[in-house]
Amino acid sequence: MVEGSTSKKTEAITEAITEATTEASETIKTSFAPISNKDTTILILGSMPGDKSLELGEYYGHPRNRFWKIIAIITGNELPLTYSEKKAMLLRSTIGVWDVAHKAKRKGSLDSAIKDDEPNDLESFMAEHRHLKVIGFNGKKAESLYDKYFDRKSGINYFSLPSTSPANAGIDFESICNKWRHILIE
């Protein structure tokens, strides 16, 4: 009887530790403020920043994320070296960046792990950016989150774009650039 009781206690303790570990690793993560200005005509929407981006305090901060290189190529710019230069390149190109999710629980950086998401106030963003003509979704999760919370507006062209994430290594660089070029065609 003592042996069975000890086994049940061990199982209960193991289960409690597993639950606590899972809850601790599924931390609530919050997105950044948008990069935009009054001239923004194109808005790129991601799902929410990954761990490396959160650590650096920068959009698309993972060194293998292809976002900045793609934007440089399709806009005819040199690849900026600093985050400040990257943001300036976006603004010169009338491109803004934000995330659909304001905050969510997520273990790690995979979009598939996003839970209990809450949206950013994209309605106000669109009202304040009257020149906005294009919204590009950086990956399927960004698009599905947008469609979960918002209606598509007439007068705005929407583009489903392949994710620039390192997890999306199945598409070669030339092909992904060709698909991303569509956001520049109004």
Instruction: Kindly list the catalytic residues.
Output: 65
Running DSSP on this structure, what letter comes out for residue 31? P
Q: Could you give the CA distance from residue 134 to residue 185 in angstroms, rounded to a whole number?
A: 9
Q: Could you give the CA distance from residue 152 to residue 39 in angstroms, rounded to a whole number?
A: 21
Strands 115-119 and 101-106: antiparallel
The answer to whether the CB of 176 falls within 8 A of the CB of 162 is: yes
Q: Could you give the CA distance from residue 127 to residue 76 in angstroms, rounded to a whole number?
A: 29
Running DSSP on this structure, what letter comes out for residue 152? P
Counting beta carbons within 10 angstroms of the beta carbon of residue 55, is it exposed (0 to 12), middle (13 to 18) or buried (19 or more)? exposed
Q: Could you give the CA distance from residue 34 to residue 84 in angstroms, rounded to a whole number?
A: 14
